[in-house]
Amino acid sequence: MQDKVVVVTGAGNGIGRATALLLGSLGAKVVVNDLGASGSGEGGDAGPATLVAQEIIAAGGQAVADTHSVASRESAGAIIQTAISHFGRIDGVVNNAGILRDRIFHKMNEDEWRAVIDVHLNGTFYVSRAAAPYFKDQESGAFVHMTSTSGLVGNFGQANYAAAKLGIAALSKSIALDMARFNVRSNCIAPFAWSRLIGTLPSETEAEKQRLARMQSMKPEQVAAVAAFLVSDESAEIDGQILAVRGNEVMVMSQPRPVASVHNAHGWDQESLRSHALPALKRAFTPLDRSPDVFCWDPV
């Protein structure tokens, strides 16, 4: 990582902060981006980004704070320009910025939908798109995007967040396919770690309390280690993948592939679909699980 220039969005707290600090300690030049908004996206404060940048510098590293929003093309472009202006190049992007506006689907309003999509999915696109021409011209670069099992598996009250996070997984795969010829890689992390966003989730029932207690045992630094590795040249063999990081566990997540099929030489109608296709296919149906149902064991 020595002298590589890396942008980390949402780096004022949690996983982003831990990633920026680790990259700085490894010799990277870090653009510490954070709007300083609340967990739901309101307001702004230069303090978090500035404090993290100062911490990197105080430890002997190189960093610059940036407070532009990821949620528009112009401001996202300014984040990448900060890297170019201060350090002369860009080698890696960690798309970590995020907000939550949870609501049960039938009560979710348009503002809650758009705000989350703008920060997570659009923000990931805008920042990545701004960096892509530099990566292409220098024929090197690495993207790391934060997805979530809320999208990969499912969760209650998070239609906006889940849609954005699953969209990020597809965006990452498309970037990997389009830019592999330029030696540019794109991967996702589905992180499990305690953060201020996780702290906003409800903890009223016993199951919810147990889930939050389990999350509190998983540290942002454990995710940061994998994020920094994916930015480095040491991970050159990893491209287009989704890694879940859960405590000291690192898992490769599956990506959609056919798991069962039936055919009918005469084509299908309502009766044959009911009597033949459904019984043959339903053994392969995915259960209506939530993320806590799938990841139900204590983290290592």
Q: Token pair for residue 243?
A: 């890694």
pLDDT at 129: 98
Please, are residues 66 and 41 in contact by the beta-carbon 8 Å criterion?
A: no
pLDDT at 197: 62
Question: Which one, of 289, 288, 284, lies nearest residue 259 by Cα?
Answer: 284
For 144, phi and psi rounded to 5 degrees? -130, 120
pLDDT at 297: 86
Whether 161 sits among the annotated catalytic residues: the reply is: yes
pLDDT at 27: 98
Selected catalytic residue, list 113, 161, 194, 295: 161
Exposure pattern of 169-195 as b/e (b: 16+ CB <10 Å)? bebbbebbeebeeeebbbbbbbbbbbb
pLDDT at 300: 81
pLDDT at 202: 61
pTM of the predicted protein model: 0.92
pLDDT at 98: 96
Ranges of beta strands (E only) in 44-174 are: 62-66, 92-95, 141-146
Q: State the chain's maximal CA–CA distance in angstroms.
A: 73
The residues of the chain scoring below 50 in pLDDT are none
